[in-house]
Amino acid sequence: MTTTAPAGTSGTDVRLTGISKTYGSFTAVHPLDLTVPAGSFFALLGASGCGKTTTLRMIAGLEEPSTGTVELAGRNVTGLPAYKRPVNTVFQSYALFPHLDIYENVAFGLRRRGIKSVKKQVDEMLELVQLGDLARRRPQQLSGGQQQRVAVARALINHPQVLLLDEPLGALDLKLRRQMQLELKRIQHEVGITFIHVTHDQEEAMTMADTVAVMNAGRIEQLGAPADLYETPRTTFVANFLGTSNLITADVLDTSGDDILLRASHTKLALPATRCTASARTGEKLLVGIRPEKITLTHADDAGSVPDGRNRITGRITESSFTGVSTQYLVDSPAASGLSVYEQNIERDSRLVPGAEVVLHWNPGHSFGLDAAQNIEAGTDVEAEGAG
Amino acid sequence: MAPLATPARWLRRHLVVIAGLGTLGYLLLPNVVVTVFSFNKPNGRFNYQWQHFSTDAWTHPCGVADLCGSLSLSLRIAVWATLGATALGTAIAFALARHRFRARSSVSTLIFLPMAMPEVVMAASLATLFLNMGISFGFWTILIAHITFCLSFVVTAVKARVMSMDPRLEQAAQDLYASPLQTFLRVTLPIAAPGIAAGALLSFALSFDDFIITNFNAGSSVTFPMYVWGAAQRGTPVQINVIGTAMFATAVLCVLAGQLVGRRRKRS
């Protein structure tokens, strides 16, 4: 397949400085600084109403920031209207022009810039998104997935310096969404343009993006590579919004060594100081976080077989559900209730049923420490957001 | 497969079609009568009884004094009233649909008043207004009156269309380098066009056809409906039927052409 982006348009960096948006007394986006490196696939992740779409629209020029500046490749574009900015958007539910056919939809941007011979470019672009034979159809005659590809083609044909995607896969069913995720990733790889992708789907953000910024209530909570965000969340919101976390409140006993020593109920826990982003002071509280799949479950009768050096908590299974690849358990323990544990279905211990006494243990290096002053529930209930 | 063996079943199966054809016949019968009598050669001045076939009236449509003058006045007024009402009404519809301003909801309601008001009342009040303002009756007073009552129909038709339009379409156009003017011409207007066309067609039909309001505000001018009314008392020339038939045929052709274009567009 041919790459349609000519040399020199391989994307530019986007720099937001102190940008914010307020509507009356409501602050949609608190002043934020953000730099998106050239050529990267960047995701703004958050629940609806967190300010991610507003941020995107300020980059596109469809929303005027209350404060701050937008820079593209070092050029301040804050004062430029949308139609003068070298960025293009793939809108939520696509916003294809219903009165124009696919060909004219894709050619729209070129024609507005006064380019006369558009045929070659349009044909090439339709080829890139595999819609060559539907050029003369109207948008409403196409399936959701096809419309989505037209929206991408219509934006990409202009060789924007940055492509903005506003929940582009929200209206597709799960299977098609997976397919389009790979498709978009392929296209981004081929054209090399900077992509900024807004989504509420944490899995989508982690699969597609090189860098993810997690937004909550108009602020960026944390920014980093998907694996870093997942392994080392810095706030309870990120810990709960990205996947599932067990957060255990513990008292700090000793901070002098490489490991911070803590106590939750009567259980002693260790946490490598390097894995703790909050400041730990003896006598104060700390949240110890551990992902469900990092915990191993051993029946209480075999407690002696648990290797030394692992954190261990005793408890009782309250629920178990078989999901195929794994079995998910809920365990109540004096240290914390409702701990969730995912066990791979490799060698299943038939004694691990609700009511069984168990030992939960994990490598201290897999846990993370968080400031206990936060809402421990933050980000748990916002994930099940409907598509759209 | 013997339809006669079970007439009840046949009837039940085709009841909707029969009812439809019956209604259509009921609606079209007056037009058929008008058309048939346009080929009549009446004895005397009234064209109410079939005598014998003739194409005289069709070959001399303007053969009666003042008839074509009144027709041309009606057409001119209809065209200008359509243009005026469509332009103004479209602007009002956009303002009501898009902008939040003070008294927006009361304007929205007031716009409907001419539709709800009895025509005689509006006719009389317009006449009073023109008299008090010292405007002499004629072409301009008719035109102003027609624009007034056509306006609400245009606003209603266009507003519905604009309200149902996805605001993201215009944002998408801006995002794709269309200036505000280009956005309006290339996206907003084409999408609102069916509503505007509906409003314009309605305006033309209403204006061409109007008798009551026109009669109050025409002064010495005579529009086609006024001519027919006047003629009916002294005798009805066959030419009235000719013009009626021609108008009907034009309207049918317009509708057919519209459907043809629509179908072709859908197929491609």
Residues A85 and A110 in one domain: yes
What CATH number does the domain containing A225 carry?
Answer: 3.40.50.300
- Predicted model pTM: 0.78
Pairing of strands A246-254, A326-332: unpaired
- Lowest-confidence range among A8-12, A30-34, A43-47, A154-158? A8-12
Residues A202 and A265 occupy one common structural domain: no
CATH number at residue B197: 1.10.3720.10
Asked if the structure places residue B173 within a domain, the reply is yes
Q: Is residue A376 part of a domain?
A: no
Residue A171: how many CB atoms within 10 A of its CB?
17
pLDDT attached to residue A2: 39
Q: Are residues A225 and A250 in the same domain?
A: no
Beta strand pairing status for A296-299 and A357-362? antiparallel
For the segment A48-62, the average pLDDT, to the nearest whole number, is: 91
Given a contact cutoff of 8 angstroms between Cβ atoms, the answer to whether A321 and A308 are in contact is no
Residue B159 lies in a domain: yes
Q: Are residues B171 and B258 in the same domain?
A: no
- Report yes or no on B184 lying in a domain: yes
Which residues of chain B neighbour A163 with C-beta distances below 8 Å?
none
* Domain match, A88 and A211 both: yes
**Within a domain: B78:** yes
Q: Are residues B178 and B249 in the same domain?
A: no
Question: Total structural domains in chain B?
Answer: 2
Distance from A136 to chain B by nearest Cα, in Å? 7
Contact A188, A41 (CB under 8 A): yes
Note whether A50 and A157 are same-domain residues.
yes
A285 in any annotated domain: yes
Q: Which pLDDT belongs to residue A342? A: 94
Answer whether A82 sits within 8 Å of B175, measured CB to CB: yes
- In the 8-state DSSP scheme, what is residue A187? H
Query: Does residue A8 lie within any of the structural domains?
Result: no
Same domain (yes/no): A171, A258: no
Question: Looking at the predicted structure, is the pLDDT value of residue B265 above 80?
Answer: no
Report DSSP letters for A316-333, one per residue.
EEEEEEE-SSEEEEEEE-
Judgement on whether residues B140 and B116 belong to the same structural domain of the protein: yes
Taking the alpha carbons at both ends of chain B, their separation in whole angstroms is: 39
Residue B42 within a domain? no
Residues of the domain holding B194: 65-224
Q: Does residue B251 belong to the interface with chain A, where contact is any CB pair within 8 Å?
A: no
Residue B2 lies in a domain: no
Q: Report the CATH number that the domain containing residue A309 is assigned in CATH.
A: 2.40.50.100
pLDDT band at B268 (very low <50, low <70, confident <90, very high): low
Same domain for B241 and B183: no
CA A103 from chain centre, in angstroms, equals: 33
Question: What's the rounded mean pLDDT across residues B62-78?
Answer: 89
**pLDDT exceeds cutoff 60 at A344:** yes
Whether residue B263 sits in one domain with residue B140: no
B256 to chain A, any CB pair closer than 8 A? The answer is no
B72 and B182: one domain? yes
Q: Is residue A251 domain-shared with residue A173, that is, in the same domain?
A: no
B259 reaches A (C-beta below 8 A)? no
Query: Is there a single domain that holds both residue B111 and residue B171?
Result: yes
* Domain identity same for B208 and B246: no
Would the pLDDT of B109 be above 90? no
A203/A385 Cα distance (integer angstroms) = 13
Confidence of residue A385 (pLDDT cuts 50, 70, 90): very low
**B160 found inside a domain:** yes
Q: What is the pLDDT of residues A72-101, one digit of tens each?
A: 988 999 999 999 999 999 998 899 999 999
Instruction: Provide the residue range defining the domain that includes A163.
Output: 14-231
Same domain, B147 and B184: yes
Inside any domain, residue A312: yes
The B residues from 187 to 246 touching A (CB cutoff 8 Å) are 187, 190-191, 193
Distance from CA of A122 to the nearest CA of B (A): 15
Query: Is residue A6 in some structural domain?
Result: no
B100, B161, B171, B177, best to mutate vs chain A, most A CBs in 10 Å? B177
Does any domain span residue A385?
A: no
Q: How far is CA B156 from CA A268, B100, B123, B137, B202, in A?
A: 74, 18, 21, 29, 11
B61/B198: higher pLDDT: B198
Q: Report which secondary-structure segment, H or E, holds A372.
A: none
- Gap from A162 CA to chain B (nearest CA, Å): 12
Domain total of chain A: 2
Domain annotation covers residue B204: yes
Same domain, B125 and B186: yes
Does B181 contact chain A (CB < 8 Å)?
no
To test the contact with chain A by mutation, choose from B175, B181, B185 the residue with the greatest count of A C-beta atoms within 10 A, namely B175
Q: Do A95 and B177 touch (CB under 8 A)?
A: no
Q: Is A155 exposed, middle or buried (0-12, 13-18, 19+ CB in 10 A)?
A: buried
% of chain A with per-residue pLDDT over 90: 58
Q: Are residues B137 and B268 in the same domain?
A: no
- Where is mean pLDDT largest: A206-220, B32-46, B72-86, B230-244? B72-86
Closest CA relative to residue A311, chosen from A267, A281, A341, A344: A267
Q: Tell me: do B136 and B207 sit in the same domain.
A: yes
Task: Give chain B's length.
Answer: 268
Question: Is the pLDDT confidence value at A263 over 60?
Answer: yes
The answer on A146 and A23 residing in a single domain is: yes
- Give per-residue pLDDT as tens, B114-156: 888 899 999 999 999 999 999 999 999 999 999 999 999 999 9
Last residue of a domain, one of A231, A259, A275: A231
Contact assignment for B171 to A136 by CB distance below 8 Å: no
B52: contact with A, CB 8 A cutoff: no
